[in-house]
Amino acid sequence: MDKNFYGKKKIAQLSKDEWEQICMKCGRCCLCKVSDGEKVVFTDYACKFFDIEHGCCSCYDKRDEVAGDICRKVDLKLLEESPEDLPEDCPYRLLYDGKPLPDYHPLISGNPNSAIIAGKTVNTMNIRSIGELTEAKDALLKKSRELGWTRGKTKEEMDKLLDEYAPNIVAVYPIKPKKS
């Protein structure tokens, strides 16, 4: 597999294999997020399909089929329409915005574990599964579309969800205006 494509191709020109190599498997896009339209709060609750012990999706190859709407596919459409579903330093966002990959990205460091060593993956973040919530909370969570927490919340609704689930906050990023 050619590892030298980085810097030679634009993101839209990447093959499927090359696209997969851009992901540094940090798991942060699998965290539940809440937004009031101005900022996105990444919580320490992970999607119920996230395997916390191994720090990866338990159904990655079948996620369309198994997770349905819970899982947002990372593609050019997502990057164009709602990049805020990904952390600001997700390598797909960086490349889409014409920025370089960070030193801890395995394609730059040559070390497959460099993102873990740099503390950028959920393995180092004491993540909880939404599957660990009580039944009542789980029902409420389903109502709010699980990972779809980011859609259409007022500030009051966002604050209510944060109060209800009392998550630890992993990161907060501002939502940038869309390019016209």
Other CB atoms within a 10 A radius of the CB of residue 96 amount to 18
Which C-beta is closer to ligand SF4: that of 60 or that of 112?
60
**Which residues 6+ apart lie within 8 Å of 154 measured at CB?**
36
Q: How many Å apart are CA 10 and CA 112, to the nearest integer?
A: 22
Residue ranges that bind ligand SF4, judged by CB under 6 A: 23-30, 47, 49-50, 57, 59-60, 63, 67, 70-71, 74, 86-87, 90-92, 147
Residue with smaller CB distance to ligand SF4, 71 or 141: 71
d(CA 176, CA 138): 31
Q: Which is nearer to ligand SF4, 37 or 131 (CB)?
A: 131
Shortest distance, CB of residue 72 to ligand SF4, whole angstroms? 7
Residue 156: CB minimum distance to ligand SF4, A: 26
CB of 91 to ligand SF4, least distance (A): 5
Round the CA-based radius of gyration of the chain to a whole number and report it.
Answer: 16
Q: Which is nearer to ligand SF4, 26 or 156 (CB)?
A: 26
Q: Where are the beta strands (DSSP E) in the chain?
A: 31-35, 39-46, 50-51, 56-57, 128-129, 169-174
Determine contact, residues 123/56, Cβ cutoff 8 Å: no
Q: Where are the alpha helices (DSSP H) in 41-177?
A: 63-67, 76-81, 91-96, 106-109, 114-117, 135-143, 155-165
CB of 27 to ligand SF4, least distance (A): 5
**Of residues 142 and 155, the one with the C-beta less far from ligand SF4:** 142
Q: How far is the CB of 86 from ligand SF4 (least distance, A)?
A: 5
